[in-house]
């Protein structure tokens, strides 16, 4: 434990007096790849008709093939954002207006709005306090005759309990989508997170492990879903007749296409993913070793034969034991120079849209429509674990913001230890 000294929040000297290097996965390889595309003059080659170019240009197709090999899946389909990917995934599994899809409240808002996009109904199940992913028991308690799918969110870089979730899906004849935006490269019992569901995928947004600025990668082993994903990506309604598709379900297409420059960058990024993940894991493991044993502090959980890729470094405080708020502890750590500390994430079921049940238009559609079969509850209290984390006990370090060396991690550990050695003064 750091020797007791005056906390910076009360005028003492800061533990950390430097700015950590920002995380940047882009290098000369990506620059050269982008230049080659620009010099070729082919920045995109998609055509929104049934044509060989319906599938995009050479960089799009090369990137997809490399993602298929990397993630060991039959199909990878790249899109212009992971939000687009989620919308396409919900449409591809055949969701009907009024169908219910179970989703986490502890996620980015697009996980649920992608469900609403198809006039289906998000139903929020609670999360597990160790993994921050959907709790299978809460999933099962929220299944109704109208439930058609589960969206399992692999939050902060760690997979949901897919064995239990897929068993529930089989038991109740449900489809499963893995929102693995934050966990590319994480493993779950020998498979990559995101590959065990009917459809999964990853974000390529600028602050993820690898990025193309914006973008997403959908993965599936189902030929029919892959076909539908490609159609929804690229103006399905125009293409289906010439292509010969008879099933018109959700064949409302979009321009969800990713460009050639982004895919050229992605080709270089996917090569780097293992080493980038390894370095992040090394820093997180060093941090966990240094923070182990601090009173009332729960560190990230990792099940045997699984891995965490640490989009965030999530912790839980026993604030009753400590008799100090998570906000006060965060303020003390920030004062010591620990950048990237926060106490909030999301309780999206409490957003105004769900509290007022107003989404499309002003009359409460789709909840106040013939499609919605029951009054779905979004009141505070339905997800007590997620709500308690948001209100009282969550503490996170934004490890993805920085390129940390061992000496940087050691400074962070010292700052934590200094704060913990002065807990009595924070009360």
- 322-379 pLDDT tens trace: 999 999 999 999 999 999 999 999 999 999 999 999 999 999 999 999 999 999 999 9
Q: What is the pLDDT of residues 115-148, one digit of tens each?
A: 999 999 999 999 999 999 999 999 999 999 999 9
Q: Is the peptide bond before 122 cis (omega within 30 degrees of 0)?
A: no
- C-alpha torsion angle, residues 32, 35, 36, 41 (rounded to 10): 170
Pick the CATH number of 8-24+274-344+386-426 from 3.90.1150.10, 3.40.640.10, 3.40.50.10320, 3.30.420.40: 3.90.1150.10
Q: Which two tokens stand for residue 202?
A: 């990853």
Largest CA distance in the chain: 74
Question: 77 pairs with which residues across the strands?
Answer: 218
Confidence of residue 1 (pLDDT cuts 50, 70, 90): low
Tell which phi-psi region holds residue 351, choosing left (phi > 0), alpha (psi between -120 and 50) or beta: beta
Q: Which two tokens stand for residue 47?
A: 């055509």
Output the CA–CA distances (angstroms, integers) from residue 321 to 284, 295, 317, 384, 386, in the order listed: 25, 8, 9, 19, 19
Average pLDDT for residues 388-410, to the nearest whole number?
98
Q: What is the pLDDT of residues 252-270, one digit of tens each?
A: 999 999 999 999 999 999 9
Going from N- to C-terminal start, the domains of the chain cover 8-24+274-344+386-426, 28-269
Instruction: Give pTM, 2 decimals.
Output: 0.97
**Class in CATH terms, 28-269:** alpha beta
R_g of the chain, CA atoms, integer Å: 23
Q: Is 172 exposed, middle or buried (0-12, 13-18, 19+ CB in 10 A)?
A: middle
Percentage above 90 pLDDT, the chain: 99
């Amino acid at each position: 434990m750091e020797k007791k000294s005056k906390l910076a929040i009360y005028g003492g000297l800061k533990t950390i007096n430097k700015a950590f290097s920002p995380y940047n996965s882009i290098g000369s390889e990506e620059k050269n790849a982008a230049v080659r595309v620009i010099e070729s003059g082919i920045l995109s080659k998609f055509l929104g008709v049934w044509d060989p170019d319906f599938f995009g240009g050479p960089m799009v197709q090369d990137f997809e093939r490399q993602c298929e090999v990397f993630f060991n899946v039959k199909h990878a389909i790249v899109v212009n954002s992971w939000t687009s990917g989620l919308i396409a995934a919900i449409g591809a599994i055949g969701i009907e207006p009024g169908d219910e899809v179970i989703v986490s409240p502890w996620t980015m808002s697009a996980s649920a709005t992608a469900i609403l996009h198809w006039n289906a109904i998000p139903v929020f199940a609670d999360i597990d306090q160790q993994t921050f992913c959907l709790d299978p028991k809460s999933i099962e308690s929220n299944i109704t005759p109208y439930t058609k799918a589960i969206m399992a969110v692999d939050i902060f870089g760690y997979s949901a309990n897919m064995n239990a979730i897929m068993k529930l899906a089989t038991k109740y004849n449900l489809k499963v989508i893995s929102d693995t935006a934050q966990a590319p490269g994480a493993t779950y019992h020998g498979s990559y997170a995101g590959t065990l569901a009917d459809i999964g995928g990853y974000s390529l947004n600028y602050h993820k492990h690898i990025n193309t600025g914006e973008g997403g990668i959908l993965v599936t082993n189902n030929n029919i879903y892959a076909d539908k994903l490609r159609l929804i990506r690229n103006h399905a309604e125009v293409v289906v007749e010439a292509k010969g598709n008879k099933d018109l379900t959700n064949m409302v297409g979009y321009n969800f296409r990713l460009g050639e420059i982004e895919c050229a960058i992605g080709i270089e990024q996917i090569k780097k993913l293992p080493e980038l993940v390894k370095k992040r894991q090394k820093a997180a493991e060093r941090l966990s070793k240094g923070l182990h044993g601090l009173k009332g502090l729960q560190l990230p959980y990792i099940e045997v034969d699984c891995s965490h890729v640490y989009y965030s470094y999530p912790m839980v405080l026993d604030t009753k034991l400590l008799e100090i708020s998570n906000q006060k502890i965060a303020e003390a750590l920030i004062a010591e120079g620990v950048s990237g500390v926060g106490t909030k994430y999301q309780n999206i079921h409490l957003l105004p849209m769900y509290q007022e049940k107003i989404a499309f238009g002003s009359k409460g559609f789709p909840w106040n429509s013939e499609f919605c079969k029951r009054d779905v509850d979004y009141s505070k209290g339905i997800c007590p674990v997620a709500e308690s984390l948001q209100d009282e006990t969550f503490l996170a370090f934004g490890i993805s913001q920085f390129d940390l060396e061992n000496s940087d991690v050691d400074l962070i550990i010292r700052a934590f230890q200094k704060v913990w050695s002065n807990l009595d003064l924070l009360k």
